[in-house]
Structure 1
Amino acid sequence: MRFLKYIFYLLLILIIGVSIYIATLDGSYNIKQSKVIKAPIEVVFNVVNDFRSWQNWGTWFEIDSTIVASFPKVTSGVGASYSWSGAGSNGSIKTLSLIPNKEIIQQIDFGTGSTSEVYWLFNNSNNGTKITWGMKGKSNFMEKLHWLTQGGIEKNMTPIYNRGLALLNNYILKELEKHAIEIKGVVYFGGGYYLYQTTSSKINDFEFKMKKMLTKILNYMKNNNINASGKPFTITHKWDEENQTTMFSTCVPIKERIITTEDILTGFLKPQKTFKTILKGDYKFSFEAWQATFKAINEQGFVKKQDGEPFEVYTVGPRENVNPSKWITEIYVPIK
């Protein structure tokens, strides 16, 4: 009996000693990891800002397949939140503050009785967006005991954050690749006046040249108080696949004919019968859309006008939306 009493006292002293040790440990932590994602900063920010997207890349959904997410009406911006529950974990998170395209501050509750601050930092990088995902706070006694037995909070959480950023990167890049081609068929294009510049270039330089010319035309219009009457477009005069060259005009529609004094000219697009296709997505898929257009023209028994010059209208582009998957390009081919 006396032996058992000594064992009891020894265990009690050990428990008290361990408890004192744990209580005196600094429970503060600040875990963070960074990654460069090859996407515009606005796109990366918008994905992280919307909690509904988290189920597509959140690491915990990969770790625990039983987790079910619950979303309220507001899932993005200040005050947004969502919660989750599963066999292995449950919790909730809400957005406390944000600076668009720079920072998001959130509060997360893992159901342990204490909360942590989750923070996101966004910075432009030469290759895209550098994103930093971090979490900081202070562990309570039971949390310190748990992490002590697991080798430390940083050791356990760092791989989860790295995996989460990798999944986020894959999700965003996959979203940017989404595109659709819709064959609309025969439409009558109304035509009208437009300001334009014409140039010849290598096909690979087409997009660069077009943007440069468009900027010059828009600046001219701004300086001369000229309003556009529609979306910018380009007219293809020549397209030489063999030599990889093209000749085209970059245009902005206007309501009436204007006498210009610089190298920006006024043209007129005649009303005409055309075959229309809509590309929804990055302009890099335009060649695919043009191929689909000419294939549909042949299959439906139409014939391209010999002297007709195809053109494409940029209904939604980078000036309206930085996300390439949201761009809309309308393709028109004059037909007989």
Structure 2
Amino acid sequence: MLKTLGLAVLAALIVLLLYAATRPDQFRVERSLRIEAPPERVFALIEDLKGFNTWNPYVRKDPAMKQRYGDVTRGPGAFYAWESKEVGVGSMKITEVQAPTRVTIALDFEQPFTAHNTAEFTLRPDGGGTQVTWAMHGPANFMSKLMGVFFDMDRMVGTDFEAGLVNLKTAAEAR
């Protein structure tokens, strides 16, 4: 009986690992929101990392977060790093800017796990406002595929993106 149970558990574990291995090698999380402000105003709050952190949902999760900015805080080469018990350790660097329609950021996480992803902000004029899309994509290694069997990363990260876009909307519309 114990041997049969052990074999059943082993078989279930093998099936789980095989299933995880078949999941996509890349991931993408994306959310959009319309903001009643011109693209230039919204762009300024994304392209300047100090402005970015006035609405960044992750900074709001941990007011005690240690933050460090590079010598450049806006445009290509702008750098920001954080250390937090709540949201981990990592850094971001703006790699590309197309004013006022796009900002691309290299996003590197050190803790709670190592990951190297890309964040993109796309701004599209929409009547008198701006349609803003916040996306993140990157490789999915085996551990992230396995975690994805149990946790919905799109929902977890997407919820933070939704909160951030609401914060951005509030900031941009208040100016």
Extract unaligned runs of 5+ from structure 2. none
Call closer, same or farther: CA 1:28–1:87 in 2, change over 3 Å.
same
Letter in 2 for 1:45: F
Deviations 1:28-56 (A, max 9, x none): 32222222222222121121001112221
CA contact (8 A) 2:44 2:51 kept: no
For residue 146 of structure 2, what is the aligned residue in structure 1?
A: 145
Greater Rg over alpha carbons, structure: 1
For residue 154 of structure 2, what is the aligned residue in structure 1?
A: 154
The structural deviation recorded for 1:146 is 2.2
The structural deviation recorded for 1:73 is 1.0
CA distance in 2, matches of 1:4, 1:74: 63
CA distance in 1, matches of 2:144, 2:89: 15
For residue 132 of structure 2, what is the aligned residue in structure 1?
A: 131
For residue 165 of structure 1, what is the aligned residue in structure 2?
A: 165
Which is bigger in relative contact order (C-alpha 8 A, separation at least 6)?
Answer: 2
What secondary structure is seen at the aligned counterpart in 1 of 2:130?
strand
CA contact (8 A) 1:116 1:136 kept: yes
CA distance in 2, matches of 1:115, 1:53: 23
CA contact (8 A) 2:31 2:161 kept: yes
| TM-score, reference length from structure 2 | 0.87
From 51, 54, 62, give the equivalent of 1:56: 54
What secondary structure is seen at the aligned counterpart in 2 of 1:22?
helix
CA distance in 2, matches of 1:65, 1:27: 34
For residue 41 of structure 2, what is the aligned residue in structure 1?
A: 43
For residue 16 of structure 1, what is the aligned residue in structure 2?
A: 14
Letter in 2 for 1:116: N
CA distance in 1, matches of 2:46, 2:166: 13
What secondary structure is seen at the aligned counterpart in 1 of 2:53?
helix
For residue 192 of structure 1, what is the aligned residue in structure 2?
A: none
CA distance in 2, matches of 1:167, 1:153: 21
- Aligned residue pairs: how many? 172
| TM-score, reference length from structure 1 | 0.48
CA contact (8 A) 1:44 1:172 kept: yes
CA contact (8 A) 2:38 2:128 kept: no
CA RMSD of aligned residues (A): 1.9
From 61, 68, 71, give the equivalent of 2:66: 68
Deviations 1:94-153 (A, max 9, x none): 111121112111111222333111111112221222211111223212222223212x22
CA distance in 2, matches of 1:75, 1:40: 22
What secondary structure is seen at the aligned counterpart in 2 of 1:156?
helix
For residue 76 of structure 2, what is the aligned residue in structure 1?
A: 78
1:301-316 mapped onto 2 (5 Å cutoff): none
For residue 103 of structure 2, what is the aligned residue in structure 1?
A: 104
CA contact (8 A) 1:114 1:140 kept: no
Choose between structure 1 and 2: higher helix proportion: 2
CA distance in 2, matches of 1:64, 1:5: 48
